[in-house]
Structures are given as C-alpha cells and as structure tokens.
A and B are shown apart, each in its own frame.
Chain A
C-alpha cells in the first residue's frame, strides 16, 4: 500500500502524482467522488509527498499520543499527516496570540511617548494574549484566582 493512492478514483484530476483516471463512474459513488474530489485529491496527493518529509513532531511521539486515543496507524504517512495537522493547529494559535501580543504592545508603545520601536525584539506571550486567541477556537482558559 505504500505509494498507492488507496484505490481512490479521481475524475478530471490534473495534479501530478494522481492515481489512475477511470472515466466509468459508479452511480452510487458519483456524489461521493464529488465530495471527495476537491479536498481528497489534495490530501491524498499531499500524503503521498510525505514519504520523504519529516515533520517537526517526531513520528514516535505522534504515534504514541494517537495510540493513547485509540488510533493505530501502520502507515507512517498517515502519522505524519496528523503531525502536520497538529503542528498547523499549534502554529495558528501562536500566530493569533502573537497578533494579540503585538496589538497590546503597540497600544502600550503608542501611549508612552518616545517608546522603543525595535523591530527585532521578541514578543513576550502572556496569558492575556493566549486567552483571546484560544477563545476564537472555542477554548475558554481562565486563570484561577488562587494560582500563582
């Protein structure tokens, strides 16, 4: 199964590395193929490219946490696909928090006359930045009053 496209049949697939093009389409699977055409073609093709790509998260770590959730994948490409998805998720959160941090910092610098405008400085993430970023994802993070 390594290197195969799991037998997925695409219609009018123009991207490279696609599977076999079969003009005969099944009645029951026509609608299903349409649903899976746009995202699946990219996803399956993208997954086939992960054979030589190692994501940031190691395969062993991702497989461990997937096993803890009840998911067992023998194909490492699936594991890498999930790793990249999680990495994207984390990256989006950090980006949103960073945006909030930049906005907060910008407001503070504008209020203070003669504020520093170092472009190379690093932004410090705080809970004030993370809370609104996670709120967009439906995650409510509240700092306990008694915690330090």
Chain B
C-alpha cells in the first residue's frame, strides 16, 4: 500500500470518528476508500474532458466550475463542510521514501557470466532476478586431452614404465619361483629374497655365438659335405702352397705373386665324396703353370670346365 492510499484510509477513519461510527468489517473501509478515490478520478476526468472540448490543453478553473455544476456541487455545501472541519484536523501524508527498487543498482553479478561481453548480452534480464546458477550446472565444457609430449616427460614416463614392468616381473618371479635369502638370521623377512637361479647346461658363450634371435635363410651351421660354388673360389679352402720354386732376392723384387684365376666348366657331383679336381693357373712373369689334382677317377680336366648348373649345390 502506497502512502497515498494510507492517507485515504486515515481520512476515512477520521470521518468515521467524527461521525462516531465504528466499522468492524474492513471491507467497508476498503469500499469507502475506493469510492473516495473514484470521486477524485471522476472529477479529474470530467474536468479534463471539458477542457479538451473547449480547446484547452490544460484544465482551468472554469472547467472545474462546469464539472461542479454538472455534479450538483454547490459552494454553500462546500462552505458548510469547511465550517464543520476546522483546519486543525489534518491527515498527514508520510514523506515519500524512495524504494530500493527505484535505485538503479546495476545488474547483479551473474555467476554464469563474468565478462563484460556476456553481461552486456544479458541486458534484457531484469536486475531483480536472482543470480543465475553457475554454468557448470547446465553447460558441458568440451575438453580436449592434451598429453604432455615433451622429450623429458616422455623419457621419464618410459623409464618409469620399464622400471615398473621390471619390478612387477621380479615380484612375480619371486612369488612363483623358489627364492632364498642372503641373511641367515632374518629368514622371516622375505622382502630381500633373491631368486634361486640354477646354472645352465649350455655354456654362456654359446648364446653369443649362436644368435637364436636372428633368423637367416640359410643355416650356416648346417654340416654340408659338398662344396658350394663359393667354396670353390675360397682361397682358405684351397691347399696351401708350401714352398715357392723361385728364389727371392734380398730386396724382395721379382717375388712371385700368385694369381689365381677362377675355374670354369667345373663338373660337380653332389653325392660324391671325392675331392674335386681344381685347376689352378699361376701367372708368374708371363709363365703359367697349371696344376691338377687327380681324383679317384683319374681324370685330368681342362682349364676351362663347364659347370653343370642343373646339379644342386
């Protein structure tokens, strides 16, 4: 209830008190105040209408006089009222107090928006609304996983993983395999036990010589009785030349340099265990010597021998 309505209620109560009337039902008070308010409104509307009809923008005394004449209000009656109510009895109207909502306090700090841009976009929201809940209550922020991939952290992570793996394996083996303790007295404490490792049957150097992790197409350790083509030209498989026929001078000049020429047209038999005749030619100062080995067959072959490619090595 505003202060004007409160003043009207006081006026009605004063009038009733003057007439020595008591009102039990508040509806009668409300009705009387409503009638009084309507009376003011009616006088104002009629006076304004009269001024508008007369072509005046603002109402004057003459318009009010016309209104009173139409309502049948005479000066004598008003004078009687003036005489009946001395000026000492006046209803006081409280001073106007500015309400808090009349002040512009500015927008409340919305929990959902903190930036100026967001607050400006919400200018249509009244200030008296309560603060909005935080955005986390109704918004899902999509977050991308950004793993730390710098060199140092990756190395540390890998080292830790390997360490953890090794620890796990150690713990598994300690639990699965028999273990022994180095401390004879503290046998109950199993934290520092070591695995009981038996010596292996194979020598340790064998694993280095025989890399089992690497797989080759040809098994070089396979025992073969026939000699391959590469073996024919291998100087290490030839018979060593024990002694040279020529004498070498003191200075070392004219020393023979054996030059071995590859053989051609060499027949090979895969099943034969006989030695293969190898023909060698030595180039020494323009002279050539041919040496031939006689096999069991006693065949002397020429320098150029045909190789039978159909025979497997």
Residues of A at the B interface (CB closer than 8 Å) are 6, 36, 39-47, 49-50, 52-58, 60-62, 64-73, 75, 78, 81-82, 84-91, 93-95, 97-98, 101, 122-127, 130, 134, 139, 141, 147
Interfacial residues, chain B to chain A (CB-CB below 8 A): 4, 7-8, 11-12, 14-16, 19-25, 27-28, 31-32, 35-37, 39-45, 47-48, 58-62, 64-65, 68-69, 71, 73-82, 84-85, 87, 89-93
Q: 5 new A-B pairs (CB below 8 Å) besides A88-B78, A93-B32, A94-B15?
A: A6-B61, A47-B61, A66-B40, A90-B12, A147-B27
State A45–B61 Cα separation when bound (angstroms): 12
A71's partner among B44, B77, B92 (CB-CB below 8 A) is B44
Task: Report yes or no: B41 in contact with A65, Cβ–Cβ below 8 A.
Answer: yes
Q: Are the C-beta atoms of A122 and B20 separated by less than 8 Å?
A: yes
Q: How far is the CB of B55 from chain A (nearest CB, A)?
A: 16
Q: Does the CB pair B93–A86 fall under 8 Å?
A: no
Out of B11, B35, B76, which one reaches A57, CB within 8 Å? B11
Chain A interface helix/strand/loop/mixed? helix
Which residues from A are CB-within-8-Å of B27? 127, 147
**Distance of A81 Cα from B60 Cα, bound (Å):** 13
Residues of B within 8 A of A147 (CB): 27
Residue of B nearest to A41 (CB): B75
Q: How near does chain B come to A143, taking the closest CB pair, in angstroms?
A: 8
Complex CA distance for A122 and B62, rounded to whole angstroms: 42
Given A66-B43, A82-B43, A90-B32, verify A98-B73 contact (CB < 8 Å).
no
